[in-house]
Every structure is written in C-alpha cells, then in structure tokens.
Chain A
Amino acid sequence: MRYGKYMFAQLKRMLKLAVGVFPTAMLLFVSLGIAGYYFFQSSIFTQNQNKFRIGIVGKIDETYLGFGISAVQTLDSSRFMVDFIPMSEDEARKKYQAGELTTYVMVPDEFLDSVVYGRNDVPITYVASEGQKGLGAFLMQELSKVVSRLVTSSQSSIYGMQRALVFEGRTEQLDEITDEINLKLINFVLNRTKLAELEELGLSKGLLIRQYYFCTILLLFCFLFGIVSAPVFLRRNQQLAKWMRIRGIGAAGQVLGEYIPYFVFLFFCTALPLFLVGRATGGLAFLRWKLGVGELIRGLLPLTMMIAALHFMIYELFHNPVANLLFQFIVTMGMGYVSGFFLPAAFFPDGLIALGRILPTGVALDYLSGIMLGSGGKGWKLGAYLTAFLVVSILARARKIQREV
C-alpha cells in the first residue's frame, strides 16, 4: 500500500512536470521528423530519385571532350545516374553552394592534349566536398577511379597497337587502324555494363532504407528523451530518499515507484505522436509496410521500458548536470553511431558490427527492426538490459541512502 501511494504521488508529480516537458518532446519529435526527411532525401541511397548533377567547367565546345560528354549523355548506361551540365566556374560554385549540383569538375584547357598524347599529367579537379567530407565525397572518389581505369586502359591499348605497327613498319595504315580500334573501344566502354548478367532473387533485404531510417529516428527520439526529461530528475528533492527510507520504503521500492511513472510518460510521449502521424498518413503508408500502427505501438512497450530504465540509471549515477548531459550524449550519439543510427551498420568492420549489436542502442535497433519486419524482436536481450539497469539504479539509490543516513 505504501509503495502504491508513493508511486501515485510520483505519477502526480510527473503529470505536473509533463505540462512543460510534453510540448518540447513533441517539438523534438517534429524536429526529428523534419531532420529525418532531409537526411533521407540527401542520402546517397535515394539518388535514383534525384540523379547526380555534375557541373562541367572549361572549354568543351567543339572538342572531342564535348562530343564524348554528349555521347555519354545519350548512349552510356551512366545517363540514368548522372547529368553533366556545362557552365562557368562562378555559376558552378554558386549552384554547388546552393545545393543544386552534386559536384563540379574543372577541365583544364590542356587536359585533352595530355590524354591524347598519353601523358595524363593535367588532371581534372573536382570539388570533393565543402567542409568535412560526406559519404558522397567518398563515392565520387571511387567513381573517379572507375572512369580513370576505363580511359587509361583504352589509352594503353591504342598506344600499344601503334607501337606494334611502327615496330613492324606499317606506318601507312596507322591512322586508319587507330580509328578502327578507337571505335571498337568506344563501343566496349558504352556497353561495358553488359558484361554482367544480373539475376535478382526478388527477396527483400530486410528493411527498406526508409524503414531503417524510420527505426533509427524513432530510437533517437526515445534515447534523446532522457535529455528532455532532465527537469524530471534534476529537480528531485535529494533529501526525499532518506525520508522515504525512514517511512519504510526502501531503495527498490523508491526506484520502482519513480521508474514506473517515468516509463509510462516516455511510452505515452512516443506512442501518441506515432498514433497521430499514423492516422494522418493512412497507417504510415509512406513506409511501404504491412504492419499496423497498433502493432508497432504494442511493440514499443518493452523497448521504452528498457530505454526508460537506462535514463533512470544515468540520472541515479550522475547527479552533476554537466557529467550527466555529456554521458547521455555519448550514449545516444556515440553508441548510436556504432550501432548504425546514422550510417547503416553494414558499413562498419565486423568487430564494430558485433560491438554495435550488443550495445543497448544496437539491441533496441535489432528489436525494432524485428517488429517492423513482422518477425518479432528479441525481447530477452531487452529484458536483460532492463534488469541490469534497474539493479544498478537500486544499488546506487541504496548507497545514496546509506551515505546520507
């Protein structure tokens, strides 16, 4: 009965504080939604909706290069991936900074001569990035290797053939045969992708990229909620624990009495906007899934239980707001990064993937992915973390009471 009263009192306190915390939680939800939209739209994985747009700076009119670029734009398989747009450097710079170009390349006047004579000593420069390198810059690097490989192998073929003819004294046919091999190689370059025989198994690769990012955004919201709820924990009366102990409510009773209302609050703040967005979007139809919002919300119960316990433990261990905030940031962003909240976990080395999976963030992501796929999440891992966090919280509270008494 005593425990029930304590919990009820905490619930009332939570309701009072919710007036301030709830609107901000919703603001965080909306911010995450907008941020997630931008993140997804700018992701390299969605470029099929927006082709790479590459600005070409330099004199290319009436040159073989200009002819080559228009050939690539009309005949090559890359035309479905890339748009080349000739422009001045100023224009390219402005458009790049305005986000209208993926990158721009600067073609020096001597470039074509250097390629024709096989020197390749006047490279094309391309803007890899503005500020810190993003994923797109790494992709551009790989793409430049692909193009270089195609051009330099063709060059070697042509020059090798010319050397052989000169060696044999057949110089009278040199131009004619050079044209012939050139045409053959151009044909090969334009049809290179036919070397691969594609076979699609038609199986879904688990989550679609939009479903994956939906999961990570939802989890980011839940984990960041710990910072939003700072007033709930930082404004606690530090003497209360001692008083409650005197009134017969021990560390375990206190922790559970405070934890349960907090968990209910976190669950409510996660489920409500999800429900509203679900209603507004025809059951989250934009995710292209078969699951109902109700099932997702039910699946959130164990997840929010674990995350609420984690927040509770952090606030029990770190009373100093500076250390507390920094620790929460490390947990959410650091562990989240390793578990694949920002870059898909498949990008990481095996050791890091394994580490990411056993961290609370990784366990939460695995669980939510399972729910989204309809295969059910691995609840026992969540349960193990939940128990561990609550036990540590109880021990920390017991120590605090002991020190104060």
Chain B
Amino acid sequence: MGKRMRRGLIWWYLTEKRLFKKPGYLLVLLMVPVLAWAMGRQAGQEAGMVTIGLCCEEQGGLSEEILERMISEESILRYLRFDTEQEAVQAVKNGSVSAAWIFPERLEEKLAKMAEKGRITPVIRVVEREDDISLVFCREVLCSQVYPSLAYLTYEGFVDSKLGADGNVELTEEMFRDFYQSVQVGDDLFVPVYLEGTADSGEHYLTAPLRGLLSIWLVVSGMAAVLYYKRDEDLGVLDFVPAGRRIKYAFGLQAVVLGNGGIVFLMACGALEILENWRQELVSLLLLLGCIACFCVLLGVLIPKIEGIGLLIPILVILMVVLCPVFLQIRLPWGIQGVLPPYYYLHALYAPGYRRHMLIYFLIGAFACLSVNWIYHKRS
C-alpha cells in the first residue's frame, strides 16, 4: 500500500470518526431507511387517489356483483362500502369520500330494458359535493364497470329477438354464457412503455416519488459536506494546506459523506423494494454520487461564504422537487433542468442512455471544478 493511499485511508477513518462522534449523524442516517421501510409497508395498505363511497340497494343482484368486482380489482380509486344511501350521502357531506355511487335495485332489469330500446337512461345515482376533473374521470371508470353487463344484455337480447321462436334449439342461460365467452379476447389493449421503450416497472404511486426525494436528499448531503468543509476552513483546520490545493479535501469530504449517504440510499431503496437490477442500480448510483460531488464542490468554489451555501440549499431543494421528475414531468426549453444531477439519475432508471449523460456531466463537472479553483486562486 502506497504512502499516499495509507494517508488517505487514515484521513477517511478520522473524518468518519469525527462525523459519527455525535450520535445525531448516525440517528439521521438510520432514520432514512426506517422511514422508507415504514412508507413501503404503508403503500401496501388500501389507498387511492380518489375515495368513492359505494352503496347497493339490493342484495345478491347485478349491482352487488359489480360492486364486489370493483372493490376486488386493483385501481387508483379507493372504494368504501356503505350499508345505506343516507350513510353514503352523509360521507360525501362530511368530506370522508369524494363521491357516492348508489346502485339501484333491479339493475339487471333496467339495463335489459335499455339494451332492448337501444337508449341509455340514468340508473346509478352519483352524489358529489362539487364536480371536478378527477370526478369526471371517476365517472368514466364507473361507466366502464357497468358497460360489460349492458353489452352482455345487449347480446342476449339480440340473439333472443333475432332467433326468437324460430331457433332450431332453445338456448339455455349456460349456452348464452358459453357463446359469449367462446372467443377469448385479451384484456389489455394497451402496454405502457418508457420513452426509450423499456417496460413499465409497476411501482406504486406512493413509493414512486420517494426515489426522487432520496436523490435530492443525497444532493443535500453533498451541500452539507460543503458547509462542513467551509466551516473547517473558517476554523483553520485546513491551514496547513495551500488554499489552491484544498479542493482535494473538498472532494474527499464529499466522498466520505456521499459514500455514507449512498449506502443509506441503497438500504432505503431496498426497504421500499424498488431495487430491480443491482448492477445497474449501483452503476447509476455511483454516477449520481460523482455528479453530485462535482456539482456541490463547484458551488463551494463559486460561493466563498458559508452563508451563501446555507442560503442556496433550500432554493436548490425546491428547484429539484419541481424541475426533476419526482412528482411531475415539467419540461423547460432552456435546459435548466440539465444542471441538476437527480434529473439525469431519474431518467437513467428507464432510459439507460442517460447514464452516458451522467458520465459526461461528471467529467465536465470535475474539469470545471479544477479550472474554476485554479483561476480563482491564481487571481486571488
């Protein structure tokens, strides 16, 4: 082991010792995977983007059948069942559900009548506090759940009316069902893909943004390392090194803090059960850490005062939450998003081409750090 290498390892060990001396740091690091685990468990619980109250006025009929099918299917809508119409309407009034869908008695009979006449009449009472776009969307879901029964009754009515008494063989209910199911049509006509053509991962909407938030947390870790470095500079800890060469300590501190953060990041992703391919995840994470280190050190060189760094952090957090695809896909034409490391990382998850972008970012970032540091110290 070379002398430099040994010195580097000792420095690494001492920095880790300094950081972990205060139990607060360990506590904060442990909090992240624990919270992620708790969140992952909660995502498995019953939840939905919109909560709908369901009520059925008849027992055991078609209404009941549709209700049970809706409740058992996986959906972004969440259904709560109420025994009476009044209870369901009351739930809308007190805001515990966004809408109530009240299924009538003898639904099958009413749909059969519609199928016969060829005209749709309202059968399901929908009670809402105020109509909005999300509830318009919900009503599409409701109608698509009732439509298969209407289509079946239309088919049954058609066959009945067209064959009538002229049929050679009298068709039984079972035969009707058999004919209807005789052509096995596929269920899904659509396949979601990502822009690069990779398949959808089937993440839950509650855990999907957490990876983005964790990558932002890593950037905050990098900025915290810059603060730590600046404070050390202020306290004179680095006085034994010429100012122009201190940048390697800044990178070293990034390596220590981001290394710890990276391990915690992987633990949190594991707890959320969103790690799909270990090798690819690791490559993407290492590239992300490299990009973050360059980004933070460059900001550290450009902003000499500790106050400036502290003040920049919350603004950066907000920018990253909005401009990186954490919750939303906002596309700005001027390439502002391209400055933020999580932007590439979150894209690289499903578009491997972005890993190349991250590597280029890292190389340009490292070059920029060294150049700016050299220019700054030469001038001063």
The complex places the Cα of A311 from the Cα of B201 at a distance, in Å, of: 39
| Count of residues in B whose CB is under 8 Å from the partner chain | 140
Given the known A-B contacts A125-B190, A193-B140, A224-B317, are A323 and B93 also in contact in the complex, defined by CB atoms under 8 Å? Answer: no
Given the known A-B contacts A149-B145, A181-B158, are A124 and B191 also in contact in the complex, defined by CB atoms under 8 Å? Answer: yes
CB–CB A132/B212 < 8 A: yes
The complex places the Cα of A43 from the Cα of B328 at a distance, in Å, of: 8
The complex places the Cα of A160 from the Cα of B181 at a distance, in Å, of: 7
CB–CB A105/B203 < 8 A: no
Stretch at the interface among B5-13, B42-50, B277-285, B364-372: B42-50
CB–CB B311/A20 < 8 A: yes
A interface SS class: helix
A136 on the B face (CB < 8 A)? yes
Q: Mark B96-117, 1 if CB is under 8 A from A, else 0.
A: 0010010000000000001000
Q: Mark A328-358, 1 if CB is under 8 A from B, else 0.
A: 0110011001100011001111111000000
The complex places the Cα of A138 from the Cα of B186 at a distance, in Å, of: 21
CB–CB B314/A224 < 8 A: yes
B363 on the A face (CB < 8 A)? no
Stretch at the interface among B55-63, B120-128, B239-247: B120-128
B302 on the A face (CB < 8 A)? no
B231 on the A face (CB < 8 A)? yes
CB–CB B148/A153 < 8 A: yes
Which residues of chain A have C-beta atoms less than 8 A from B92's C-beta? 201
CB–CB A337/B223 < 8 A: no
Which residues of chain B have C-beta atoms less than 8 A from A202's C-beta? 129-130
B183 on the A face (CB < 8 A)? yes
CB–CB B349/A132 < 8 A: yes
**Quick one: which of A45, A132, A167, A192 contacts B133, CB cutoff 8 A?**
A45
Given the known A-B contacts A35-B319, A133-B203, are A203 and B130 also in contact in the complex, defined by CB atoms under 8 Å? Answer: yes
Q: Mark B51-93, 1 if CB is under 8 A from A, else 0.
A: 1000000000000000000000001110000000000000011
CB–CB A194/B318 < 8 A: no
CB–CB B125/A199 < 8 A: yes
Given the known A-B contacts A200-B131, A323-B24, are A130 and B329 also in contact in the complex, defined by CB atoms under 8 Å? Answer: yes
Q: Mark B11-34, 1 if CB is under 8 A from A, else 0.
A: 000000001001011011101100
A15 on the B face (CB < 8 A)? no
CB–CB B144/A146 < 8 A: yes
Residue of A nearest to B47 (CB): A349
Given the known A-B contacts A98-B331, A148-B190, A350-B45, are A143 and B155 also in contact in the complex, defined by CB atoms under 8 Å? Answer: no
Given the known A-B contacts A135-B328, A161-B159, A234-B306, are A78 and B189 also in contact in the complex, defined by CB atoms under 8 Å? Answer: no
CB A397 to nearest CB in B, in angstroms, measures 16
Which residues of chain B have C-beta atoms less than 8 A from A46's C-beta? 133
CB–CB A322/B228 < 8 A: yes
Residue of B nearest to A192 (CB): B143
CB–CB B205/A347 < 8 A: yes
Given the known A-B contacts A153-B152, A337-B209, are A78 and B129 also in contact in the complex, defined by CB atoms under 8 Å? Answer: no
| Count of residues in A whose CB is under 8 Å from the partner chain | 138
A151 on the B face (CB < 8 A)? yes
The complex places the Cα of A165 from the Cα of B121 at a distance, in Å, of: 29
Q: Mark B348-374, 1 if CB is under 8 A from A, else 0.
A: 011100000000000000000000000
A282 on the B face (CB < 8 A)? no
**Quick one: which of A32, A185, A206, A322 contacts B221, CB cutoff 8 A?**
A322
Which residues of chain B have C-beta atoms less than 8 A from A96's C-beta? 195
Most chain A CB inside 10 Å of its own CB: which residue of B140, B330, B346? B140
CB–CB B321/A342 < 8 A: yes
CB–CB B126/A198 < 8 A: yes
6 closest Cβ contacts across the A-B interface?
A: A120-B186, A197-B122, A128-B192, A349-B45, A99-B331, A230-B310
Known contacts A133-B203, A181-B158, then 15 further A-B pairs from the complex at CB < 8 Å, ordered by chain A residue: A138-B205, A150-B144, A156-B180, A159-B182, A160-B155, A160-B180, A184-B118, A188-B114, A194-B122, A199-B125, A199-B128, A200-B130, A234-B231, A322-B257, A350-B47
Q: A interface vs B, CB < 8 Å?
A: 20-21, 24, 27-28, 31-32, 35, 38-39, 42-48, 78, 80-81, 93, 96-99, 105, 115, 118-121, 123-161, 163-165, 167-170, 173, 177, 180-181, 184-185, 187-189, 191-206, 209, 220, 224-225, 227-228, 230-231, 234-235, 317-327, 329-330, 333-334, 337-338, 342-343, 346-352
Q: List 25 A-B contacts (CB under 8 A).
A: A21-B307, A35-B318, A98-B333, A99-B329, A123-B188, A126-B191, A128-B193, A130-B194, A130-B329, A131-B347, A132-B325, A133-B205, A147-B190, A155-B185, A156-B151, A156-B152, A157-B180, A163-B182, A196-B142, A200-B128, A203-B129, A325-B223, A325-B224, A329-B220, A347-B205
